[in-house]
Chains A and B, each alone.
Chain A
Amino acid sequence: MRGFLSWWLRWVARWRRASGDAAVSTHATSDGMMATSHVAPGMGQAPMLDCESVMRHLWDYLDGELTPDRMVAIRAHVEMCTRCYPQYEFERSFLDAVATSAREHSALDGLRAKVTEVLVARGLQQE
């Protein structure tokens, strides 16, 4: 559960970054992805993509590196595609496992003190 929460928070942060980027983009739709004219019920104007297009951009989607339009389009496809959803879950759980595998420094307070001491010796003024 902690892992999923961690992944979700990272994903939301990246989604926000992507949204911010898109705000200054005037050609967000010229993405080179294959889109069909089918629009799924309840999915607004998000174009439905074919599986290969989704696979090509699945990592970018999981990293939150696409424009909001692309994110919505891929999410709409993945949520309904029995072929793509298992792979999405597989890759998402992989990224989550990698993100939470990092070793943390076991003595950060001591390290902070050492770094501060070295910096003060070099001239950093203390508060």
Chain B
Amino acid sequence: MIDEPKRERDRQFRTEALRWLPEVARFALSLTRDESDADDLVQETFLKAYEAWGTYTPGTECRGWLFTICRHTFYRRRHREERQVTCDDPELEALAAASVHASARHGGFEHLFSRFDLSDAIDQAIAALPEPFRDVVLLVDVNDQPYEAAAVTLGVPVGTVRSRLFRARRLLQEALIEHARDAGLVRPRLDADTAAREP
């Protein structure tokens, strides 16, 4: 005997949830940084999603819902509590970006991000961020989630998403500029005095 409601429910799950598997896999990989662990995490995420499919409202933001399950599963597996982070004023954080830019200009790194492939360095710099900052970068900057969707996934207000995100970007930029300096990617500008002494 065919169970029509179940068949319809399963069809919806296949079309609405499973279509996001590549995005969930990317998110899981960015959290675990290991493909085998990511596989396990993705499987568990979709199993939980399937079992909770009755609580999902068809037509709403399914990708964000899956990210939420994925992230909660990841942290539950690691038995780690999310650290509370002091929430600064996001607009002050935004203004602080100007000082990073000024520093980059001064050091000759103004075109660093457009001229060099920094993929590996960015990957490492994101991984080195404290968890709350890393999570918001992964959601907004890597997986293109709007602030509001990221706030739902993280269970924090939108203002907290903004302040964490802007701080995280500043930390990443500082780390990448440091990396570029150490790797000698861009020769620092000579100041006027030094330049005058050059033969």
- A positions within 8 Å CB-CB of B: 10, 13-14, 17, 52, 55-60, 63, 65, 86-87, 89-91, 93-108, 111-112, 114-116, 118-119, 122, 124-125, 127
Main secondary structure on A side of the interface with B:
helix
Asked if A65 and B147 make an inter-chain contact with CB atoms under 8 angstroms apart, the answer reads yes
Residue B29 interfacial (CB < 8 Å): yes
Asked if B122 and A118 make an inter-chain contact with CB atoms under 8 angstroms apart, the answer reads no
Asked if A99 and B144 make an inter-chain contact with CB atoms under 8 angstroms apart, the answer reads yes
Given A115-B18, A124-B50, A94 contacting B173 (CB threshold 8 A): yes
Asked if B98 and A87 make an inter-chain contact with CB atoms under 8 angstroms apart, the answer reads yes
Residue B38 interfacial (CB < 8 Å): yes
Interface 1/0 per residue, B104-117 and A, CB below 8 Å: 11000011011000
Nearest-neighbor residue (CB-CB) of B166 within chain A: A59
Main secondary structure on B side of the interface with A:
helix
Asked if A118 and B38 make an inter-chain contact with CB atoms under 8 angstroms apart, the answer reads no
Asked if B35 and A106 make an inter-chain contact with CB atoms under 8 angstroms apart, the answer reads yes
Other-chain contact of A105, B26, B111, B162 (Cβ < 8 Å): B26
22 contacts between A and B (CB under 8 A): A55-B95, A55-B97, A59-B162, A59-B166, A65-B146, A86-B105, A87-B97, A87-B101, A90-B110, A91-B101, A97-B113, A97-B122, A98-B126, A99-B141, A99-B144, A101-B123, A102-B143, A104-B29, A118-B46, A118-B47, A124-B14, A127-B11
Across-interface contacts of A102 in B (CB, < 8 A): 26, 30, 142-143
Asked if B22 and A105 make an inter-chain contact with CB atoms under 8 angstroms apart, the answer reads yes
- A113 to B150 alpha-carbon distance, docked (Å): 29
Across-interface contacts of A89 in B (CB, < 8 A): 114
Other-chain contact of B122, A101, A111, A115, A125 (Cβ < 8 Å): A101
Residue B69 interfacial (CB < 8 Å): no
Nearest-neighbor residue (CB-CB) of B142 within chain A: A102
Asked if B142 and A14 make an inter-chain contact with CB atoms under 8 angstroms apart, the answer reads no
Asked if A119 and B142 make an inter-chain contact with CB atoms under 8 angstroms apart, the answer reads no
Asked if A105 and B29 make an inter-chain contact with CB atoms under 8 angstroms apart, the answer reads yes
Interface 1/0 per residue, B122-149 and A, CB below 8 Å: 1100100000000001001111101100
